[in-house]
Amino acid sequence: MKGLRSIAVTGAAGRIGRAICNEARRNDIHVVGIDAIPCDGIVKADVRDTNQLSRLFEGAECVFHCAGLHAPHVGLQSEDTFKSINIDGTASVLRAAETAGTDRFVLTSTTAVYGGGAANDEPARWIDETCPSLPRTIYHSTKLEAEALVIAATGQHLTASIVRLGRCFPEPARLMAIYRLSRGINERDSGRAHLHAAMATGVDPMPMIATARTPFQRGDEPRLTHSLRALLEERCPYFVETFDRLGWVLPDRIDRVYDSSRAQNQWNWAPLHGFASSMKESTT
């Protein structure tokens, strides 16, 4: 990635942090990986330890902040713990970046802040950056507060990007293919999206959606919930043919589509591993 020589990544032992580290190293970028979980090649640190972080960030041209509690932790961790790690932790990482003189910052956020999908009798939701946030859990609300902290911290000495990342869990191949039609993303694409976002930081960063490229178009919302098979046969026949050949059941409906075209355009980023890639990987 031209223009970046050294970065620091919090949450480097996690799925997204690891993807960023791997993509950076493929581009000959020096990486300092940081995580609360000790593992090979990663420095153990708590994101709330500002002093330790500031030392680790020295020389980094960009800090990628992926560390935090996520959706699977809801109900397992207290709301106070969510606030401490996701909000106070983000504030600590920002202070450490400022102390270290790092002038670029990329925050990993989530498309889950937009709320759920359409009800059974409603057209699918077409979701882009103009849609309002509809937080439903402590995870969503703390991610929104973390975004606000990043936006407030930008200015003369810091520019930032905010990546609202789509679904990126390891899942059965059938589910993964379905989600990548409308709201999922491959982990390699997530790593590339973050690095491209780092090259497009600004002083008033709009949180942007990063998901796989969808075959659907605005205006498809009614068909996504009422005549999905016909729409799939029209837009992506390979998807239907592969599902039929494998004996996989097509979904009855898709309740939402996340549109990542703004991030693709503004970050000069193109997701490469969509639904077709996930199906090819699962059948070879």
- CA distance linking residue 163 with residue 103, whole number of Å: 17
Residue 43 lies inside a defined structural domain of this protein? yes
> What is the domain range of residue 76?
6-280
- 139 is annotated as an active-site residue: yes
Residue 124 lies inside a defined structural domain of this protein? yes
Give CA 175 to chain center in angstroms: 18
Beginning with the edge strand found earlier in the chain, give each strand of the sheet holding 104-110 in spatial order: 43-44, 30-35, 6-10, 62-65, 104-110, 159-165, 208-210
pTM of structure:
0.95
Residue 1 lies inside a defined structural domain of this protein? no
Query: For 127, phi and psi rounded to 5 degrees?
Result: -115, 120
- CA distance linking residue 231 with residue 227, whole number of Å: 6
Residue 276 lies inside a defined structural domain of this protein? yes
Percentage of the chain surpassing pLDDT 70? Answer: 98
The predicted-structure confidence for 172-226, as pLDDT tens digits, reads as follows 999 999 999 999 999 999 999 999 999 999 999 999 999 999 999 999 999 999 9
Catalytic residue chosen out of the listed positions 139, 179, 238, 258: 139
Q: Where are the alpha helices (DSSP H) in the chain?
A: 15-26, 50-57, 79-82, 89-100, 138-153, 173-182, 187-198, 221-226, 228-235, 237-246, 261-266, 275-283
Residue-level pLDDT at 209: 99
The predicted-structure confidence for 230-259, as pLDDT tens digits, reads as follows 999 999 999 999 999 999 999 999 999 999
The predicted-structure confidence for 216-229, as pLDDT tens digits, reads as follows 999 999 999 999 99
Residue 218 lies inside a defined structural domain of this protein? yes
Residue 115 lies inside a defined structural domain of this protein? yes
Looking at residue 110, the DSSP 8-state letter turns out to be E
Question: Is a pLDDT exceeding 70 seen at residue 281?
Answer: no
Domain count for the chain, please give it.
1
CATH code: domain of residue 154? 3.40.50.720
Q: In the chain, what are the helix, strand and coil shares in percent, each to the nearest 5?
A: 45, 15, 40
The predicted-structure confidence for 32-75, as pLDDT tens digits, reads as follows 999 999 888 999 999 999 999 999 999 999 999 999 999 989 99
The CB density around residue 80, as the number of other CB atoms within 10 Å, is: 9
